[in-house]
Amino acid sequence: MQVLSELPRRSVAFIGSECHPFVKTGGLGDVMYALPRELVRLNCDVRVILPRYACIPQKYQDKMVYRGEFYMDVGNTGRQYYVGIMEYICDGVVYDFIDNQEFFSSGNPYVNLVDDIPKYCFFSKAALAALNFMNWIPDVIHCHDWQAALVPIYLRTLFKNSPVGHAKSILTIHNLRFQGIYNIPTIQYWTGLPNDVFNMGALKQGWEDANMFKGGLAYADRITTVSGTYAQEIQTSEYGEGLEGHLRYHSYKLRGIVNGIDYDMWNPETDPALAVNYGLSTVLEHKMENKLALQKELGLEENQDKFVIGLISRLTNQKGLDLVSAVIPQVMDGNTQVVILGTGDKEFEDTFRYYEGAYKGQFAACIQYDESRAHRIYAGADALLVPSRFEPCGLTQLNAMHYGTLPIVRETGGLKDTVEPYNTFSGDGNGFTFDRYESGLLLDAINRAKTLYFTNRYHWDEVVQRDMAKDVSWEHSAKQYKDLYLELTQW
């Protein structure tokens, strides 16, 4: 890896709850993987601190090296807890896994709040204690989502007079929906934080609850979120998840930096999952071959003239799936095929299974999490739907564009910042968009896409090539994070 060593050097610890390829449930896992690697190139010394979940695949567990262990008190439990540090180094990034079987032995990273609250109270403290233990004191500690939101608070309280207490902190909001809210006595018990942080300006929420994300936002030196539009949206009651006032109060330190995608992981020219690899100059012919291979794989009618719409998503209320299910009967016009890949709420899983039965050979519902199938859908589909109710950044539209698949998105959050609507008159744009959360508007956007596809293929192909050439890499975004680190550490 080429490091731009003429740039100023900074050390950064990433603290978060998931990271590809060890454990990933969504976009956070992608960011925790790709951003550190890009920062290494920008002359940062990066350590990523993660829980050592039992569900991390054995091949990575086998590569971890024992780095040390110590015992740490946790909150008001009166007990000393084991903290092991297991290390794995890859492409210049050091991964330190916090080991503790009591907290991290369940099958999934997230179980339920009763288990997750103590788990992440422990993890956040253990991460800071591990930095002190290893005597590796970063310039900046970059924390992610509610699971690591206690870190900025611990830094300025329990760890204030320890070496790591000198570090600056950044808290990034990937998704504000999950905040880590529980009653004050429980959070006090597991954190041991002093009474004065349980005030309305920090951890306290309502009469009796403590909100970990809210407290972290108050204590962090900077707050970032994953797109400029989402940074604005979360200051409104529609998107603020109850924290809009708090975020408006702290807006002076809030900024949006849009995510990128990792070009090593997402590269249609080398992607081993694809039937046929392709680049900008070969996309038009080879995309058809990928489409036929996808149709074959999923048992759809093999016909390259069909317009194939993909959707790759967690099947939850956030993702606009009620709109999708409402328009399917009108979308299925005999010339269109739909491919869904995702797991989640039973209601949506069942709806899509029903459609698969109702539109045999034209509708595929893959109710599963399958990375390599996701790659083949990005390559084989013509368009990809992302009609989210809210979308902090969204990665699927970026993956799609990079694979020459045109996104059809709702104009919210990062979708608005990354997909420029196609303009029929000038031919500009990257995809198809709609604004209000209404199924009629989604259908209208899908129909505009179909019209262009079936009546003006020359212009459609131009957009395909423009999307593939668009820079959606991490390079630009990573530079903005580096600038933020420099801004916080001027000496």
Specify the residue, 7 or 367, whose C-beta has the smaller distance to ligand ADP.
367
Give dist(CA 389, CA 264) in Å, integer: 30
Nearer to ligand ADP, 138 or 310 (CB): 310
> Closer CB to ligand ADP, residue 31 or residue 86?
31
Enclosing H/E stretch for 110: none
Omega prior to 268 cis, within 30 of 0? no
Binding region for ligand ADP (CB under 6 A): 26-27, 30, 312-314, 341-343, 369-371, 374, 393-396, 399
* Nearer residue to ligand ADP within complex by CB, 396 or 430: 396
Report the b/e string of 89-123 with b at 16+ CB within 10 A: eeeebbbbbbbbeebbeeeebeeeeeebbbbbbbb
Q: Taking a C-beta distance cutoff of 8 angstroms, is the pair 138, 13 a contact? A: yes
For ligand ADP, which is the closer residue by CB, 113 or 273? 273
In the three-class reduction of DSSP (H, G, I as helix; E, B as strand; rest coil), residue 399 is classed as helix
Can you read off the two tokens belonging to residue 391? 């979308």
- Please report how close the Cβ of residue 459 comes to ligand ADP at its closest, in angstroms: 27
| Residue 431 Cβ vs ligand ADP, minimum distance, rounded to whole Å | 15
State in angstroms the smallest separation of the CB of 348 from ligand ADP: 12
State the minimum distance, in angstroms, from the CB of residue 136 to ligand ADP: 29
Name the residue number minimizing CB distance to ligand ADP: 27
What is d(CA 254, CA 449) in angstroms, rounded to the nearest whole number? 36
- Say how far apart CA 451 and CA 254 lie, in whole Å: 41
Distances (CA, A) of 305 to 60, 149, 179, 336, 381: 43, 50, 46, 9, 12
Min. distance of Cβ 71 from ligand ADP in angstroms?
35
Rounded least distance, CB 266 to ligand ADP, Å:
8
DSSP letter string over 106-117?
A: SSSS---HHHHH
Least distance (Å) between residue 99 CB and ligand ADP? 26
Closer by beta carbon to ligand ADP, 19 or else 312: 312
Q: Of 130 and 261, which has the nearer Cβ to ligand ADP?
A: 261
Q: What angle do CA 215, 218, 219 make, to 5 degrees?
A: 90
Instruction: Quote the least distance from Cβ 157 to ligand ADP, whole Å.
Output: 31
Write down the least CB distance from residue 397 to ligand ADP, Å.
8
Q: How far is the CB of 238 from ligand ADP (least distance, A)?
A: 18
Shortest distance, position 87 Cβ to ligand ADP, whole Å:
26
Element at 220 (helix H, strand E): none
Residue placing its CB nearer to ligand ADP in the complex, 88 or 230: 230
Tokens 């990433």 found at: 14
Contact present, 397 and 386 (Cβ < 8 Å): yes
Identify whether the C-beta of residue 88 lies closer than 8 Å to the C-beta of residue 95: yes
Give DSSP secondary structure letters for 323-338: HHHHHHHHH-SSSEEE
Between 44 and 311, CB nearer to ligand ADP:
311
Query: Given the complex with ligand ADP, which of 24 and 479 has the nearer CB atom?
Result: 24
Locus of tokens 């992608």: 30
Least distance (Å) from ligand ADP to the CB of residue 391? 7
- Cα–Cα distances (Å) from 86 to 92, 108, 388, 489, in that order, read 16, 19, 38, 29
Token pair for 129: 């204690």
Please spell the DSSP secondary structure of 9-43, one letter per residue: PEEEEEE-S-BTTTB-SSHHHHHHHHHHHHHHHTT
**Which CB atom, from 140 or from 341, has the smaller least distance to ligand ADP?**
341
**Alpha-carbon distance 390 to 379, whole Å?**
25
For residue 465, give the 3-state DSSP assignment. helix
Q: Of the two residues 15 and 374, which places its CB atom closer to ligand ADP in the complex?
A: 374
Number of residues in the chain: 491
The tokens for 114 are 């009763």
Q: How many Å from the N-terminal Cα to the C-terminal Cα in the chain?
A: 28
